[in-house]
A and B are shown apart, each in its own frame.
Chain A
Amino acid sequence: MTVVLGFDTATAATAVAVVRSGSQTIELRHEPAAGERPGHATRLLGLVDEVLRAAAIELEAVDQIAVGVGPGSFTGLRIGIATARALAQGSGRPLSGVSSLLALAAGAAHDGPVMAVIDARRGEAFAALYERLTARVGPRAMRPEELAEHVSGAPGPLLAVGDGALRFRAELEAAGARVPAENDPSHGISARQICRLAAEGRAAVTGPAGGGGVTPDYQRRPDAEIARNR
């Protein structure tokens, strides 16, 4: 039996889950209310504690820790990954980094192509186009025109999910994508998908305890660096 503790902080939500093969999954989330700051720093470890207690296991009983590596909010990713690495370093458990976009796509119940879209601010989205969970395009930062272009070029009816899909609903739908209703849970990154993908060996990186190899997939350089190299 494999036990995976996983979480994601790439978007404003904080999602934490424990997945045990052959047993029920426990997932807890914090979604900030309108105008509220993300709860990454203040909620993540509390949710980890809660989820482990609900599963009646200690951190030492976890076989693997998994964390969403983005792309997404820079600060959110750092909070998630710093926490994951510290838990791994402190407990001696191995750590895996899973693409947050892949987790988003995995959570969408759709047989055809899925475009996972995370709002990247500044009129852009971090997006990737998946067919059976294999990335055909991206992940990378895209403008709405590029999103639309990839939707038009996709084989078969395409489903677009994520807070970025809601943000660019008009552009995506005009290009032929289906975007679920705003309150549909498929727009949120599920921590159980992070756990499941890690357990299935679909992690982008798996490091030893301490997880030094697990780093954010920023997909965008710091502004100062871009300005300097211009």
Chain B
Amino acid sequence: MILALETSCDDTCAAVVDATGAILANVISSQGIHDRYGGVVPEIASRHHLELINAVVDDALRRAGSTLADVRLVAVTRGPGLIGALLVGLQTAKGLAAARRLPLAPVDHLHGHVAANFLAPAAVEPPFVCLIASGGHTLLALVREPGGFELLGQTLDDAAGEAFDKGARLLGLPYPGGPALERLARDGDPEAFDFPRASRVSGLDFSFAGLKTALLYKLDDLGEAESRRLRTDLAASYQRAIVDALLARAERALGQSGIDRLALGGGVAANGELRARARGLGAVVAVPPAELCTDNAAMIGSAARFVSAQPYPDYLGLDAYASGDYGS
């Protein structure tokens, strides 16, 4: 059995998965506290991870009906993410593994999002193109084998989820704004306004910073009363621009790679318009359940099945990393 930990952002996560990719427990403790700050505060996130992590591990083991004695491998996110937050999970994983002389599998967080697709019961077989979009990352990955991925493109500035949150804030919605913006967009006309899709960004990279600025200018132009009256149209058009930008690159990636399978991941994969329109691309589309799209430790345990684990004591000096190097 694999015990997996994930603390790269503001969710304190522990999971137990088995060698076949079956999830025996998947505990996610969301900190919530950051909403009042309008974003994740690293120091506060780190403090909460330390408060929660041991209880979350215990909870995962209990839900899996097991104890540490049943664990054969400890897996943990090493990066990318908030260093102080990552270190709480990494030291906990190293310490648990060291105390029991177990091997440890350090996992890249983005590989984890890809590996959410390898979990039972709906495992997707490589090769496939994976679009990962969340508040922290936006990228396209080419997955030829389960042990890794090739980075095809990534955002040059804001993440897609960040674009949702910033747009929502401009429209007066509370943080995190993605789901609220989507609800507002349901009653609006997505073609009422033409927001930029970063079409000048070449290849398979993304850019969302201009979109937020465009919304800001549009709100200025319209004035407060008109902006309020056209709120649903603004939300719908803004969401349309994000989804268009994401899917245009995904479609290009499918075309260039000649692969006809697309997997979605990350918190933005919960967006209804993204899911629906992805199915219109003509590819076979896989979307893991919502709790496996957002940050979780089951996906880290899943990835750990395909990376080489380090035996005791090789991993004792492992450090966390804030940003990854994916050779692109």
A→B interface (CB under 8 Å): 41-46, 48-49, 59, 74-75, 78-79, 81-87, 89-91, 210-212, 215-216, 218, 222-225, 228
Q: Which of B36, B50, B51, B54 sits near A89, CB closer than 8 Å?
A: B54
Task: Give Cα A228–Cα B50 distance, bound, in whole angstroms.
Answer: 22
Is B19 in contact with chain A by the CB < 8 A criterion? no
Interface hit among B143-151, B158-166, B256-264, B311-319:
B311-319
User: What is the bound-complex CA distance between A40 and B256, given in angstroms?
Assistant: 46
Q: Mark B111-130, 1 if CB is under 8 A from A, else 0.
A: 00000000000000000000
Q: What's the nearest-Cβ distance from chain A to residue B36, in Å? A: 7
Closest CB of chain A to B304's CB: distance in Å? 17
Taking CB atoms, residues of chain B closer than 8 Å to A81 are 50
| Chain B positions 62 through 101: 1 when the CB is less than 8 Å from some CB of chain A, otherwise 0 | 0000001000000000000001100110111111111110
Residues of chain A within 8 A of B235, CB atoms compared:
none
Are A59 and B91 in contact (CB-based, < 8 A)?
A: no
Closest 10 CB pairs of A and B: A86-B95, A90-B99, A45-B316, A82-B91, A222-B43, A224-B41, A91-B99, A90-B96, A86-B92, A42-B317
Please count how many residues in chain B sit with their CB below 8 Å of the partner chain's CB atoms.
36
B53 within 8 A of A: yes
- Residue of A83, A223, A228 near B36 (CB, 8 A) is A228
Name the residue of chain A whose CB is nearest to the CB of B88: A82
* Complex contact B58–A48 (CB within 8 A): no
Chain B residues with CB under 8 Å of A43's CB are: 317
Are B84 and A212 in touch, CB under 8 angstroms?
no
27 A-B pairs with CB atoms under 8 Å apart are: A42-B318, A44-B91, A45-B98, A45-B313, A45-B316, A45-B317, A46-B313, A46-B317, A74-B84, A78-B47, A78-B88, A79-B87, A81-B50, A83-B92, A83-B95, A84-B95, A85-B53, A85-B95, A86-B95, A89-B54, A89-B57, A90-B96, A90-B98, A211-B54, A216-B47, A218-B47, A224-B43
Return chain A residues, CB-CB under 8 Å to B37.
224, 228
